[in-house]
Amino acid sequence: MAEPLLDVRDLRVQFPTDDGLVKAVDGLSFRLEKGETLGIVGESGSGKSVTSLAIMGLHHGSNAQITGHIELDGEELVGAPAGRVRELRGSKMAMIFQDPLSSLHPYYTVGAQIAEAYLVHNHVGKKAARQHAVDMLGRVGIPQPAARADDYPHQFSGGMRQRAMIAMALSCDPELLIADEPTTALDVTVQAQILDLIWDLQQEYHSAVMIITHDLGVVAELSDDILVMYAGRMAEYGRAEDIFDEPGHPYTWGLLASMPRIDEARLERLVPIKGTPPSLIDVPSGCPFHPRCRYADQTGGRSQDEVPALRDVAPGHRVACHLTADQRRTMRAALLSADASRAEAGTADAGAAEARAAEAGAAASPITGGDA
């Protein structure tokens, strides 16, 4: 395997607080190849954003303790001089954030803010930087970019602001683009446009993209690989098809079940995952998911006592779960058939259910549910 662009090994990010040590990221390892897209999925507080900020070296000013390895193109970032990380930031790795309005400075024009990002890493004049900013705005699909470059962020719509953020992030042609919940703050109609834009630009720039979200639907469209995080650890990792077709971790099942789907005329209610994400100060013993796991009692007490190791369930598909492969298969099958029967019970006539099944089969979408 070629040298990955991003190689994260045993990353730990901890914050000492008055209440105790917050283990925001606890031994996370993953790789990202050039030009690939990795989706990181998990609930709030699962350590997704903390991980991305650690890669960017943006835990500045906080008391974060970062250990482990983050290698970008072979260069170690953990413990690297702040000045060196700063040089890489914006040029080799760039990031877009959740809320484009609060992420853009209200007092400077959009064009100036993009030009600033270009100027700091390139020895060019102000005019050239501005021209580059206008070009970038045009590339992310902002009409009349030369005129709009002189607008302030509040004069842009939400979707245009996120486009401007993307233009800013891509202005120095970074090899790694981290998108932290890039569509969460946007209208649903705009979300798809932004995801399309990220996809198109990735094809154009051949950047590796790390997309962080709590929405499996978002990563479904974009990702090559998916990393499911829970309580600062990896719960499951695999190719996107694996995660959607053969999800191995009960938590991933829960995420999938709680995801609204519009490709199927699903009539039953969404199934939320019971409980709340654990406190990262007092992470549950053993498997951190066990207090919320429906199958925790089937592991003979190991869930409570033993941290599940990551095991390969298929080539390149790893799951941190105590359940055996057989147990998983039976439970998953039971879950799906329960799903299906509930759906049929909710359907007014059986014809619709059949149509649904046929449609689901024909859609050949990566989101078709397992063995259904």
Partner 1 sequence: MITFIIRRLIATVFLLIVVSMITFAIFFLIPRLAGQNSYQLATQYVGRNPSRVAVLQIEAKLGLDKPLYVQYGDFLKGIVLGVHYNAGTSVTYCPPPCFGYSFKSQQPVWPQMVSDLPVTISLAIGAAVLWLVGGVAIGIVSALRRGTLFDRFSMGIALAGVSLPIFFTGLLSLALFSYKWPIFPNITFVPFTQNPLLWARNLVLPWVCLAFLYAALYARLTRAGMLETMSEDYIRTARAKGLPERTVIFKHGLRAALTPILTIFGMDLGLLLGGAIITEYTFSLHGLGLFTILAIQNQDLPEILGVTMLAAFFIVIANLVVDVLYAFVDPRVRH
Q: Kind and range of the H or E element at 17?
A: strand 6-17
Binding of residue 56 to partner 1 (CB under 8 A): yes
Closest CA to 338 of 293, 372, 298: 372
Instruction: Work out which of 61, 81, 143, 315 binds partner 1, going by CB under 8 A.
Output: 61
Binding of residue 116 to partner 1 (CB under 8 A): yes
Which residues between 161 and 220 bind partner 1 (CB under 8 A)?
165, 168-169
Instruction: Work out which of 19, 74, 81, 107 binds partner 1, going by CB under 8 A.
Output: 107
Cβ distance to partner 1 smaller for residue 119 or 293: 119
Instruction: Work out which of 117, 129, 287, 321 binds partner 1, going by CB under 8 A.
Output: 117
Contact predicate 25/40, CB 8 Å: no
Coil, helix or strand at residue 21: strand
Angle at 41 between CA 38 and CA 42, to 5 degrees: 155
Instruction: Convert residues 282-321 into a mask of x (bound to partner 1 by CB under 8 A) and - (unbound).
Output: ----------------------------------------
Which segments within 173-272 are labelled E, that is strand?
176-180, 208-213, 225-230, 233-239
Cβ distance to partner 1 smaller for residue 99 or 135: 99
Which residues make beta-bridge pairs with 318?
237, 312
> Tell me, what DSSP letter sits at residue 231?
T
CB of 151 to partner 1, least distance (A): 9
CB of 111 to partner 1, least distance (A): 13
DSSP per position, 34-97? TT-EEEEE--TTSSHHHHHHHHHT--TTS--EEEEEEEETTEE-TT--HHHHHHHBTTTEEEE-
**In this structure, are strands 75-76 and 65-72 parallel, antiparallel, or unpaired?**
antiparallel
Cβ distance to partner 1 smaller for residue 155 or 365: 155
Report the C-alpha gap between 317 and 239 in whole angstroms: 7
Binding of residue 229 to partner 1 (CB under 8 A): no
Binding of residue 158 to partner 1 (CB under 8 A): no
Cβ distance to partner 1 smaller for residue 85 or 353: 85
Instruction: Convert residues 236-275 into a mask of x (bound to partner 1 by CB under 8 A) and - (unbound).
Output: ----------------------------------------
Phi, psi of 41 (to 5 degrees): -120, 145
DSSP per position, 246-306? S--SHHHHHHHHTS--SSS---SPP-PPSS-PPPSSSPPSSSTTGGG-TTGGGGTTHHHHS
CB of 134 to partner 1, least distance (A): 17
CB of 42 to partner 1, least distance (A): 21
Instruction: Work out which of 73, 99, 135, 224 binds partner 1, going by CB under 8 A.
Output: 99
> How far from 333 is each of 238, 316, 369, 371, CA to CA, in Å?
20, 22, 10, 7
Instruction: Work out which of 88, 129, 186, 208 binds partner 1, going by CB under 8 A.
Output: 88
Total interface residues for partner 1 by CB under 8 A: 32
The contact set with partner 1 (CB under 8 A) reads 56, 58, 60-61, 86-91, 94-95, 97, 99, 102-107, 109, 113, 116-117, 120-121, 152, 154-155, 165, 168-169
